[in-house]
Amino acid sequence: MKLYNSLLEGNKEWVKKRLQQDPEFFDKLSRGQSPQFLWIGCSDSRVPANEITNTQPGDIFVHRNIANMVVHSDMNLLSVLDYAVNILKVKHVIVCGHYGCGGVKAAMQNEQYGLVDNWLRFIKDVYRTHSDELNSIKDEEKRFDRFVELNVIEQVLDLTKTTIIQNAWQERNEPKVHGWVYSLKTGLIKDLGVSFDSSAKLEPIFRVENKYVPVTPVEAEEV
Ligand code: CO
């Protein structure tokens, strides 16, 4: 129980420190949030969004899953994305992967880990898409690093394929989407330079036009 209680003790310490810095800290935050960023990151315990960007509670809306995936049928991801883009109206969506990602590593291999293997399948598709480049990298560590980067790039592209992002671009030219990779070894973030806004040239097959508007149901007596 000592380990467990250490979290609750830690919380009290944190509240004390916060109130010393700003007595109104919690009053202000409790009034609402208006974050400018949505973070899509890995569940890895070593990559906490606020801490590594030196930001505060209220600054970043966060979604995390194994290997920072944007899976277009994932209701959790889609709900977070829709809320962040259409209600909070964030200005930037950032997919942040990290070198040394266990999910990406597992996807490079053939070992079974259980249920998660089904999630890793999406990452294997990224490998297949880039297999020429990845197979040409003989050094396994370098191939792993590049796979992490390519996985982030593909997730950024997957964001641009969603109706949520494309409709937002048509309506207000925002948000911008970006791809980053965090280094566990240095603590530094690398911007992969794959930022897209409404001027993005999407592959034709993924473009959506004319926002879907549900038709008004016909009144019963008119039928
Ligand atoms: Co990871």
Per-residue pLDDT tens digits for 52-99: 999 999 999 999 999 999 999 999 999 999 999 999 999 999 999 999
Range of the domain at 86: 35-222
Q: Is 101 labeled as catalytic in the residue annotation?
A: yes
Report pLDDT digits (tens) over 190-219: 999 999 999 999 999 999 988 777 777 776
Q: Over the chain, what is the mean pLDDT?
A: 96
Element (H or E) spanning 173, and its range? none
Exposed (0-12), middle (13-18) or buried (19+): which is 99, by Cβ within 10 Å? middle
Asked whether residue 143 falls in the same domain as residue 208, the answer is yes
| Percent of the chain at pLDDT exceeding 90 | 93
CA of 99 from ligand 1 middle (Å) equals 8
Asked whether residue 97 falls in the same domain as residue 5, the answer is no
Report pLDDT digits (tens) over 138-152: 999 999 999 999 999
Give pLDDT, residue 135: 98
Asked whether residue 21 falls in the same domain as residue 70, the answer is no
Give pLDDT, residue 223: 60
Q: How far is CA 131 from CA 2, 9, 105, in A?
A: 48, 49, 15
Kindly list the strands in the beta sheet with 92-98, ordered across the sheet, starting from the edge strand earlier in the chain. 60-65, 37-42, 92-98, 176-182, 189-191
Q: Is 178 labeled as catalytic in the residue annotation?
A: no
What SS3 state is found at 70? coil
Q: Is 96 labeled as catalytic in the residue annotation?
A: no
Asked whether residue 26 falls in the same domain as residue 55, the answer is no
Asked whether residue 137 falls in the same domain as residue 171, the answer is yes
Q: Is 42 labeled as catalytic in the residue annotation?
A: yes
Which position among 98, 145, 158, 178 bears the catalytic label? 98
> What's the domain count of the chain?
2
